Amino acid sequence: MLKIMVVDDESIVIESIKYIIEKNFNDVMLVGVAYSGREAIEKAESIKPDVIFMDIKMPGINGIDAIKEIKQILPNVQIIILSACEQFEYAKEAVNLGVSEYLLKPVNRSKMIEIIRHAAINHEEAKARRKRELDLKEKYEQVLPILEHGLIYAILLNEDYNEQIKNYKRLLDINEEKGFIITFEIGEGRENGNIIGSSVLSQNFYHKMRDVIKSELNCVVGPAMLNRIIVYVPVSAAEDDYQVRLETVRTTESILEKLTQKIKTGIRVGIGSTKSDNENLLISFSESLRALKYANEREIIHIDDIPEEQQLPDADCVEKRIKMLLESVSSGDIKESIALFIQIYDELCENRENSTEFIKGRLLELIVMLHRLANDYQIEGNEIFQNNDYLREYLSINDKQIIKSWCIRRIEAITGGIKNAKTNRCHYLAAAAKEYIDKHFNEEISLEDVSRAVNLSPQYFSRFFKQETGENFIDYLTQVRINKAIELLKDKNHTIKEVCFMIGYNDPNYFSRIFKKVTGYSPSEQRY
């Protein structure tokens, strides 16, 4: 139903429009009339019409000024000017105000009907457009946390600023060239009767924190990992790092104050330094964890607030070993992966300041990273990956030795799964490369052509093909061609020259030399 309001100081105009509406439209309703600009403003705010027919010349507030006020209240309302004045300045100002039509008095019935129909079409189109926009916004809001979590995981898993991070930033419309990491750590306490800090945060609790953080900071909020939430804050290249640091601490103080009002537990915050895109954001994350070690309950520590001589040396060592472990798991080396994990575990346990919950938190971050790697390789078939509720299983363990055994079993399964996945992928790519060669052997194909077909670099493909087949690319191609030549030579309707061209060689003499080198005899001897 299209709702119309008519504003005119002449009753005859209002009655005319009312009559036209009643006689010609079933889905249009006259919801209000006004005889002055002031009355129009007051009624428009209460009845919220879709279309307003507005007279220009009225006592008190004129039509133009009334439109200005109404547009502030109802920016999407359609305005149709009614005027006996054919003065250009009115029309010009009306256009600037976003007026839909300019109708001269006396009102022409046919023109009025046309204008109302057009307004109805515009109204329905606007409704449909707003619905699409709302649907898109709703869908984006639903997928936004997934994209944000993906970016955080990509930062934690990649040493370099790579395509994966670029893609996530593009999807999140992040154009800034620098950024840093903030880590929020929640201490022991209770939220709605549930213990927090020793388990993964409840969704309700997580969303409370996420909403507060995003209301204060232009940032990306990562997932809850045990008792931590990792936040990435993009920074413009033009901004001064020191000023960013000061402003971030002030903003985080405001966040901390709001969070402590909502949840009855201690929160500590560690902030890493700003890094450019060509630097490693993992460093900023590591710095935020080191800063946490110096933060008391409800305290914020920036890494630059810690004197360099006081910074804990073991943190860097653990982070380096974690990086080495990720590389080892990616390569499929089970023995080395387990050895590195044991070193990481022992170093965490040797520091007496590290509580069991802290160790669980650090190891959980590592396990989540490793599962992310496993997902990238689409590992299937192993029972350990069929249980998606591994976080709950992990958090139920409180004995450090059992934690150690559980993690070793996970790492062994993930590393072995990646090794098998890479092996299967190699077999598949080798088969695909052979298939391509078998189909195109009679063309002038090169190593670059085949590597492009299987989406590998020529250098890597050359090594990989040799490892998988036991022979290099050119030897395999030659053997395929010679095998085909032997078959063709059996048909005496083909000359040796024709056979040469049919298998992809352009020089019959060269073909004869290669044929004899491979078979031990010449093409003519093969035929007889």
Q: What is the pLDDT of residue 194?
A: 43
- Cβ burial of 35 (10 Å; 0-12, 13-18, 19+) is middle
Ramachandran region, residue 379 (left: φ > 0; alpha: ψ -120 to 50; beta: rest): beta
Residues 407 and 446 in one domain: no
CA gap 325, 366 in Å, rounded: 9
Are residues 415 and 470 located together in one domain of the fold? no
415-436 pLDDT, tens digit each: 888 888 777 777 888 888 888 9
Do residue 344 and residue 449 come from a single domain? no
Tell whether 155 is covered by a domain: no
H or E segment to which residue 99 belongs? none
Given 255, 282, 311, the domain boundary residue is 311
Do residues 249 and 278 share a domain?
yes
Residues ≥6 apart with Cβ < 8 Å to 77? 44, 49, 50, 51, 52, 70, 71
Question: Same structural domain for residues 207 and 116?
Answer: no
> How confident is the model over 440-459, as pLDDT tens digits?
888 888 888 888 888 877 77
- Specify the CATH number for the domain of residue 481: 1.10.10.60
Q: Both 183 and 90 in a single domain?
A: no
Q: What is the CATH number of the domain that holds 97?
A: 3.40.50.2300
Q: Using CA atoms, how far apart are residues 258 and 261, in angstroms rounded to an integer?
A: 5
Q: Is residue 153 part of a domain?
A: no
Asked if residue 281 and residue 215 are part of one domain, the reply reads yes
Q: What is the DSSP annotation of 404-441?
A: HHHHHHHHHHHHHHHHHHHHHHHHHHHHHHHHHHHHHT
337 and 403 share one domain = yes
201 and 282, same structural domain? yes
* 512 and 406 fall within a common domain: no
Task: Indicate the residue among 266, 281, 311 that finishes a domain.
Answer: 311
Domain match, 185 and 303 both: yes
Q: Do the domain assignments include residue 460?
A: yes
- Counting the structural domains of the chain, the total is 4
β partners of residue 275: 179
The CATH code of the domain that includes 228 is: 3.30.70.270
* CA pair distance 360, 395, nearest whole angstrom: 8
Q: Give the up-direction half-sphere exposure of residue 122: CA atoms within 13 A in the CB hemisphere.
A: 17
Q: Which residues contact 234 (CB under 8 A, 6 or more apart)?
A: 169, 174, 176, 178, 179, 218, 219, 220
Measured CA to CA in angstroms, residue 6 lies from 40, 56, 81, 117 at distances of 9, 12, 10, 16
Task: Determine the 3-state secondary structure of 183 from DSSP.
Answer: strand
- For residue 50, the enclosing domain spans 2-128
The tens-digit pLDDT sequence of the chain (528 residues) is 899 999 998 888 889 889 998 889 988 999 999 999 999 999 998 999 999 998 888 888 888 889 889 989 998 899 988 877 655 556 556 666 777 777 777 778 888 888 889 888 888 888 888 888 777 777 767 788 888 988 888 877 665 556 778 888 888 889 888 899 999 988 754 444 444 444 434 446 778 888 899 999 999 998 777 678 899 999 988 888 888 888 999 999 999 988 888 776 778 899 999 988 766 787 888 888 888 878 777 789 998 887 654 544 445 567 778 878 888 888 888 899 899 889 888 888 887 667 777 777 778 778 777 877 777 666 654 555 555 566 677 777 878 888 889 889 888 888 888 888 777 777 888 888 888 988 988 888 888 888 888 887 777 788 778 878 888 888 899 999 999 998 888 888 888 888 999 999 989 899 899 898 988 888 888 766
Q: Please tell me whether residues 236 and 359 are part of one structural domain.
A: no
